[in-house]
Amino acid sequence: MKRFFAQIGIIAVFSSLILAPVYAQAARHPSASEKLHGKKTAAKAKNARKQAAPRVVAAPKPPSFGQLAGLHGAHDALDLKSSVAFVVDQDTQEVLFRKNELAVLPIASITKLMTGLLISESKLPMDEMITITQDDVDMEKGSSSRLRVGSELSRGELLHLALMSSENRAANALGRSYPGGLPVFVNLMNARAKMLGMMDTSYVEPTGLSSKNQSSARDLATLVNFAYGDPVLRELSTSTGHQVAVGHRTLQYNNTNRLVKNPSWEIGLQKTGYISEAGQCLVMQAKVAGRKLIMVFLDSAGKFSRLADAERVKRWVESIPAPVTKTLPLASVVSDQKIVTN
């Protein structure tokens, strides 16, 4: 009997020695059910952390000046999303469509059309190299730019980028490098506007980042009509894309108005603009149904709605009868009441 218990003891010892690694390995590698339980526990903990963490809510976009003035409450036959619109036949001066066209609103980068006009009329050398400086950095809205401080571009390249891609540092550099500097340039912008009869227009800087750059749709139609006579502005503003070499980099820029690439459009001059105070803006000279039209859309609510508004006007003009020839001075076309916002 003693021998039997001794043998049992020996077997137990050997069993413990043999099975110990197995038990250890099992401890290191849990079963499938244990794994599933562990995953569920981890998922619950993760969800608990998510629920406990404060949610980051994006700040609401501030209303535009047009929204504050109640201009979006005005309805029109074409159901445009722009609170301000003005369409005129460039040859006959016939007003085809009007909506709050005398409201004075921020015009964002439509400003750059006047900037470009002055630079083109200045006859300054377009091959003169201009350096982007810290003074050209946007301190108004904090917008970004691929033109780094220290970059050198010709005046012609800066003009191209300002008109086609709405490059803010390019536009500011054009004004800053003008003889006499920015103060002289801004004074010239305002003087040129008055010479053109743009009595509702005022500028404080050459980019449009400031909401104090303001105008009416009627005034902007006058500017587009005049600027269309400049072949440089026509070519650069409707360019679909352009590459510039900046140091060791080659930068590709594209037009901010995708309609210039649309084969159904024949656009002779254009400029887009946006800041929150102005909403989405667009001015164009375009040929539609054999008619040369000037279109102005201001304070559009959505990112693409200004283009959709242009498409609506185009389809509408294509559907109406041929025009009756008559001549009216553009500056004499007014509404009964002027709307001014601050």
Question: Residue 177: which of 141, 143, 129, 210 has the closest Cα?
Answer: 129
CA distance 278 to 64: 6
Whether 261 is catalytic is: no
CA distance 113 to 153: 20
Structure tokens at 35: 């794994």
The H or E element containing residue 4 is: helix 2-28
For residue 264, how many other CB atoms are within 10 A of its CB? 8
Whether 166 is catalytic is: yes
Catalytic residue among 64, 83, 99, 112, which? 112
Whether 319 is catalytic is: no
Question: Residue 330: which of 280, 285, 298 has the closest Cα?
Answer: 285
Q: Could you read off the pLDDT of 80-113 as tens digits, one per residue?
A: 999 999 999 999 999 999 999 999 999 999 999 9
Domains of the chain and CATH, by start = 65-332 (3.40.710.10)
CA distance 82 to 279: 9
CA dist list (Å): 25 to 19, 21, 38, 129:
10, 6, 18, 73
Catalytic residue among 166, 215, 216, 237, which? 166
In contact, 323 and 89? CB cutoff 8 Å: yes
pLDDT averaged over 10-residue windows placed end to end, the chain, 342 residues? 46 45 48 56 63 63 92 92 97 97 98 98 98 96 93 98 98 98 98 98 98 98 98 98 90 95 97 97 97 98 91 96 57 42 50
